[in-house]
Amino acid sequence: MREIFEKALKNNKNNGDYIEIRAEKKETTTIHFQGEKLEKINYSQQTGGNVRALVKGGWGFISFNQFDDLEEKIREAIEVASLIEKEEVSKLAMSLPVVEIINRELDKDFRQVSLREKKDLMENYNNIIMKSNHLIQSSNVIYTDRFSTIYFANSEGSYIEQEKPFLSAGFTAVAREGDNVQMSSESVGSTKGFAIMERISEKAQRAASRAVNLLKAQPVEGGEYTVILDQTLGGVFIHEAFGHLSEADFLYEDERMSGLMKLGKKFGSPQLNVVDDGSIPDLLGSAKYDDEGVRTKKNYLIKEGILAGRLHSRETAVKMGEEPTGNARALNYRFKPIVRMTNTYVENGDTPFEDLLSGIKKGIYARDCYGGMTTFEMFTFSAGEGFMIRYGKIAEPVKDVVLSGNLFTTLLNIEGVGNDLKMIESGGGCGKAGQNPLPVSFGSPHLRIKKVVVGGR
């Protein structure tokens, strides 16, 4: 790739202000059990690439599957970029050229594991779900592995090759009693070897037993509650509700939004610390360099309750007069890098779980997550499992727990931060601007939040 890229860049040296080329080669295997049956087992190979060109502040972008005429693609990207007239020129923050080739060694490389071994293992998990209880109606066990190599070069002299392995397994159990149908899911994602897939039978078991338990749960009564979020839901909350607002592309062209997200503003109590860090080795959101070739690092978003930083691409950094943070990420070769989170978490506080519970007369303990969404200040997410808290004790299970609210008030309403941080690596991912699912990880200790609106009948 390097020669092809360098030749194409060299021959377009005098065109455009900045040009970058990315390519991706990947192989994907998917195995899907549904109910008693193997639903799907398939394989795909993809090769694709893109060119992004900056001409007098306008961006042109072209993605493709055929590399036959890379120089022509560069010319096309420059041509569409030139159609964009700008009053105000977008520039890029400085980033030193890097030449590096990063290979990954896996403890049990899934590319060497036979299709039969993968299938047998997933079949085993599927059986665990299906046979766990007579009320289990159906299941979904979805396994995916993907080995990608990303090639990057730009007109500033960078050339980076990064290998990115990814594998995931998702378990869904469907329980049914008459017309009452309940579902529960568990998943695992990883950038490491196949070995991790061999020790997750407990997850399959948990999905099944939780689905059965939900059959007995009553729908939660809607209203305002003090809520305790477990590590998963706490992580989802901080990612969805707060993390997305820290992405500078939301802010840099919008005066009012950047006013709301002014550094130094109080966002929570002094025990609240929020971090995004793409440089932690081998988590789902990790990489040594982001998709603009910028080195990733640890970025504090909230420090001691005060807004301390945000996430940048090279373009947003220069706009806001800040440093790039290594957060420009693209889902795949079809997309441009945009500002994304990597591994986002709330740092540990010092309150043990029991102390968080104490003093709550009537509240909700919300665990795990079905899904979440945010639009600027408003967020909503569904708990995978919920319990009433009565007089400081966890009481009966409830279902259909959907939490919703305004981010700013909710962050200020965090009144307790636990001491049991856990990073969550699930098989799902994050969605933004049509780029979904991008692998990320998130985490949190248990969080206690007052005055949360819970939807219900």
When binding is defined by CB under 8 A, the residue of 6, 17, 71, 76 that contacts other proteins is 76
Site for other proteins contains 63 (CB under 8 A): yes
DSSP code string of 15-35: SSSEEEEEEEEEEEEEEEEET
Binding mask 111-140 for other proteins (x = CB under 8 A): ----xx--x-----------------xx--
Helix (H) or strand (E) holding 5: helix 2-10
Hey, which residues between 83 and 102 contact other proteins (CB under 8 A)? Answer: 83-87
Hey, which residues between 426 and 445 contact other proteins (CB under 8 A)? Answer: none
Q: Closest separation between CB of residue 222 and other proteins, Å?
A: 4
Hey, which residues between 258 and 297 contact other proteins (CB under 8 A)? Answer: 260
When binding is defined by CB under 8 A, the residue of 13, 42, 281, 354 that contacts other proteins is 42
Site for other proteins contains 20 (CB under 8 A): no
Site for other proteins contains 361 (CB under 8 A): no
What are the contacts of 251-258 at 24+ separation with CB within 8 A?
A: 251/310, 251/316, 251/320, 252/316, 252/319, 252/320, 253/319, 257/376, 258/320
Smallest CA-to-CA distance from 240 within 91, 410, 387, 33 is with 410
Query: Which residues, including other chains, have CB under 8 Å from residue 23's CB and lie 6 or more apart?
Result: 1, 5, 47, 48, 49, 50, 67, 150, 151, 333
Hey, which residues between 170 and 209 contact other proteins (CB under 8 A)? Answer: 174, 176, 179-183
Output Rg (C-alpha) for the chain, integer angstroms: 23
Contact between 30 and 41 (Cβ < 8 Å): yes
Site for other proteins contains 144 (CB under 8 A): no
Hey, which residues between 364 and 383 contact other proteins (CB under 8 A)? Answer: 370-382
Name the one range near other proteins by CB under 8 A: 75-83, 150-158, 292-300, 416-424. 75-83
Contact between 223 and 456 (Cβ < 8 Å): yes
Nearer to other proteins, 33 or 289 (CB): 33
Q: Provide the token pair at 409.
A: 């008030």
Site for other proteins contains 404 (CB under 8 A): yes
Nearer to other proteins, 63 or 286 (CB): 63
Nearer to other proteins, 59 or 353 (CB): 59
Positive or negative, the CA dihedral 250, 255, 256, 258 is positive
Nearer to other proteins, 65 or 201 (CB): 65
Q: Closest separation between CB of residue 452 and other proteins, Å?
A: 9
Site for other proteins contains 64 (CB under 8 A): yes
